[in-house]
Structure 1
């Protein structure tokens, strides 16, 4: 279903002069295009040929997706490499006892959750390339410090500041991607970006198996080198990404003005006006939370974050119980992550092909539940248990990007999307705290409590997806019955975002 009523065209009630006055210097006349371009009545703008359109989208793909994917790969790597470090003796060397290791994992999520929404507001004001590259340098620096800690207190402090530095990476990237693509073409891009978490898991295992051989070099144990070298890598790459991270389409200097005009027009047709130029106010934030769908979006993500982080933080420890050596454990952690990346791209391809999200959340979640059910009930067949890890990763990490994409791209306008994306990720990461205490050392090697918790929260996510699907279906039908002629100006519709009577949600 389209985001705008077919009888409405972007800016149809205003002249370019009026729009220029209302939207400021960020307004681009949608009728700008290269010579010979044909006028598209449905889009309300002059459009390049189909070949030129494909080239333009490919140009955006090459500039936006690889850069953000690399950035988040390193962020997720620095966030979860503590699991690889644990296999090489972090807990023993720092003399951690009881649940101290779990508490250190939890410390990351406190600032990570609290500062999600403020971070997206800052990103909108400072520009993405400035804010995201600065955050990347800081989390790389903190990761280096994590490799130098001498006790539990130092580990707690570095985990706290790591969460603070990484708070804007994921919601900021998802928010930015959503402002470049139509909803029908975004899922493949989202899943490729989110797949960087799977690649980080695979790359982390390979890297840790190699770095672990540096044990004792210059007086540092292997687990310390994991943090130091991976932190240095993030710091160095952050300088390059300052010049490579894209800003919003309205500000992209690497596009021609007619290209910006076309991109803006096609996105307005699909999602409504963005209101990029207007700052987010406290009233905007409050109005967002008057929409109950915000809470459903948070629950969808929250439920699946528990198994996602449960696996990310504890997979090496689980695999180690199957009888592998330290190096063997790291190497065996790679294949499930690699398969989850490929499967996520397959799910994304068909989701975009059918322009549908709902079923592509439920099927992968069911796979993850099946994997956890095997792990919960089978304890004497290591090969089957290892195979179940593939179901867990493939299901969890292919459903998560669909959930975030579905909710994010059903939000109209910059302010609702900035707040909504940060809220969903921030609230959802409360599940990360639960995950850190789900798998306790005393429960090894069967981890029945952890697997049971993951099954329960995966079911919660599935239920929230069903409720969200029902809500958008009902609202679309109600708007079809009510009609769009409610006496609202284009500016008022822009302010409402997806709450505008013109807007139609994607199921």
Structure 2
């Protein structure tokens, strides 16, 4: 008898690789529902997955690295007289941050609809060049109008890249492989956030070169880097498994490898071959969109993302200036801020591996969000006259844990999607929520709350407490939904037939939610 599935992932497969190997056979074996013949060995599949890891993931990580540099470098520019040079105030700077995120939110779903129609090579490649040009020429902005229009345009051009990439990754890997791959993808974002301060520390010293300010050189150099990553993407990225050829015609995978890539997904979803072939060749229907939006649990995921990431958005923008307010040199503050961000990068990777092996992504998110709440509260409770070293240490811990659960949360949403179309819409909503967090977080630290931001930190603590509550509600709803599914399928917990994880054995058509 087959194992109970957790929305596309065999219940035993999420724990370790040995369980995954047990699914395969070195001799031909017919798939009971998919109608195809399985002919590959576990070693052959492992080698192919490693090949995908070496080709698909590094390119997407590189582009995400460039995107985060372009998105976050304005925060580093604050330490180099950016406000005075451009002619704006701190609150106007916050408004620009909100406009950038609003631009992303507005076009997130339309962008994913286009990607579903034309495929990732053409659409994502176009996006990279567009936002790279905006990021470069923002070095010459002047006045409030120029600043706000540049921020909005940058957001509009970046819209759709992150959910489109997450959706693309989900087409290359099986569900129990996703958490660690999402973690590696977000590693591009984390490394950029951590390295951004160090890069800024060096580039901002270029003030005066060719008559330009240091922040202008920061925008120019990082914008040109983005354009170069666009060249790499167009030349090398293989698109989707149904036709893994780059836009420039480069092919990395043999016909047999292409067959294995498609058919191994059918182990989790017998309809995945037809669904994968549809991506990049037809429009998403209104029924697909309505179906994805009708599930109330996705809106709780949206709420969790918005509220839970708002404090981290505020920290990304203001951590350098907060550290400088402790009495440290303003340029050194950029480098000092990166310490917590490097710790965060490490936690993101560890979290991805732990979530895949544990298999309980909801419980992992609950643990991580709770830890973030604890450190946020601890910083809020520090007296104003606390020594700067203690303040810096606690701020570092708060920033290190402020979003390390985000990648696993994305894989949790993906695994509980039933079709590629639903997965695409869910990923768009997921990243829309993250940018809504940017809109909210952009106003947490305001000029009238200087220098300690008491009000901002109080709101951050309240947001994290609420986030813990939302995760608990989600876990409860998924548990109730699974109980209903088991009851309808005639499965009871006292059944004598269970797998090694204690899950009742059922037919392959019975699928449970992962939490």
TM-score of the superposition, structure 2-length normalised?
A: 0.86
Partner of 1:405: 411
1:439 to 445, 453, 472: 445
Whole-angstrom distance in 1 between the partners of 2:490 and 2:67: 44
Deviation of residue 446 (structure 1)? 1.1
Partner of 2:264: 266
Partner of 1:458: 464
Matched-pair contact (CA < 8 Å) for 2:132–2:226: yes
Partner of 1:241: 233
Partner of 1:280: 284
Residue 289 (str. 1) matches residue 293 (str. 2): yes
Matched-pair contact (CA < 8 Å) for 1:198–1:397: no
1:420 to 422, 426, 433: 426
1:203 to 164, 172, 195: 195
CA change 1:304–1:482 in 2 (3 A) is same
2:28 to 38, 43, 46: 38
Residue 327 (str. 1) matches residue 331 (str. 2): yes
Residue 338 (str. 1) matches residue 330 (str. 2): no
Partner of 1:2: 5
Which aligned pairs between 1:18-29 and structure 2 lie closer than 5 A? none
| Gap runs ≥5 in structure 2 | 11-24, 246-251, 492-507
Deviation of residue 258 (structure 1)? 3.0
Partner of 1:113, secondary structure, is: helix
Deviation per CA, 1:147-171, whole angstroms, max 9, x where unpaired? 1011111011110010001111111
2:435 to 426, 429, 437: 429
CA change 1:501–1:474 in 2 (3 A) is farther
Residue 357 (str. 1) matches residue 357 (str. 2): no
Deviation per CA, 1:284-306, whole angstroms, max 9, x where unpaired? 21222221122112112112220
Partner of 2:38, secondary structure, is: strand
Whole-angstrom distance in 2 between the partners of 1:146 and 1:303: 30
Matched-pair contact (CA < 8 Å) for 1:340–1:395: yes
Matched-pair contact (CA < 8 Å) for 1:337–1:393: yes
Whole-angstrom distance in 1 between the partners of 2:115 and 2:345: 28
Partner of 2:352: 348
CA change 1:312–1:98 in 2 (3 A) is closer
Residue 475 (str. 1) matches residue 498 (str. 2): no
Partner of 1:249, secondary structure, is: coil
Please report the RMSD computed on the Cα atoms of aligned residues, expressed in angstroms: 2.3
Deviation of residue 256 (structure 1)? 2.8
Matched-pair contact (CA < 8 Å) for 1:4–1:272: no
Partner of 2:327, secondary structure, is: coil
Matched-pair contact (CA < 8 Å) for 1:87–1:316: yes
Matched-pair contact (CA < 8 Å) for 1:94–1:150: yes
Whole-angstrom distance in 1 between the partners of 2:99 and 2:49: 40
TM-score of the superposition, structure 1-length normalised?
A: 0.87
Residue 191 (str. 1) matches residue 183 (str. 2): yes
Whole-angstrom distance in 1 between the partners of 2:406 and 2:271: 27
Which aligned pairs between 1:214-229 and structure 2 lie closer than 5 A? 214-229=206-221
Which aligned pairs between 1:78-227 and structure 2 lie closer than 5 A? 78-97=70-89, 99-227=91-219
